[in-house]
Amino acid sequence: MRRGRWSSPCTNLVEWYARPPHRELMPKSFGRLFTVGRLDAESEGLILLTNQGDLAQRLAHPKHKVEKEYRVKLDRPPDEAVLRQMEKGVRLKEGLAKAEKVFSSSRLEVRMILRQGMKRQIRLMFRTLGFTVERLKRTRIGGLELGHLAPGAWRVLSAHEAGKLEEKP
């Protein structure tokens, strides 16, 4: 059983690698790999790879409500009312988009925890409220954090980290 994590760079290289960009870079001995955590071309951060389809499904599908954490840099500072609105919900074409938790980490940056998985959810929520997302980085999926993995780098998870993925939310 193999699992690895990948830090997706925020560059055009993501497009160059093709979709999904990371499988071609993995050793063939890893076998078939399933992706957990899509990122659009403008985003960066943690993507998990596993050869266990059932685990990938449990971690990726919104019905399982696995937390995913993001750092979001905005074009201007949000006030407390905006952060609370993100938690109450923002009406999008796809339905009501909600953040589990949103808090300010600096003047222009917020940390946001999601359990939903709508396409481009964070960008659309902020756009609806009049903000532009300047940088979006996924830092955590479930109990696994990105840490200091460099953009474009990958590594095999330790047994302890793999165990964190098995834990139910």
pLDDT of residue 98: 97
Residue extent(s) of CATH 3.30.70.1560 domains in the chain: 67-140
Enzyme catalytic residues: 40
**CATH homologous superfamily of domain 67-140?**
Alpha-L RNA-binding motif (3.30.70.1560)
Residue 36 DSSP SS3: strand
Structural element, H or E, at residue 16? helix 13-16
**Burial annotation 127-158 (CB, 10 A radius, 16+ → b, else e):** eeeebebeebbbbbbbebebeeeeebebeebe
Residue extent(s) of CATH 3.30.70.580 domains in the chain: 3-62+143-166
**Residue 14 pLDDT greater than 60, yes or no:** no
Residue 161 DSSP SS3: helix
Per-residue pLDDT tens for 16-62?
223 345 666 677 777 787 788 788 888 888 888 888 888 888 888 88
- CA gap 45, 62 in Å, rounded: 19
Structural element, H or E, at residue 160? helix 159-166
138 touches 100 (CB < 8 A): no
Alpha helices by DSSP H, listed for 40-148, are 53-60, 80-88, 121-128
> Which architecture does CATH list for 3-62+143-166?
2-Layer Sandwich (3.30)
Per-residue pLDDT tens for 78-108?
999 999 999 999 999 999 999 999 999 999 9
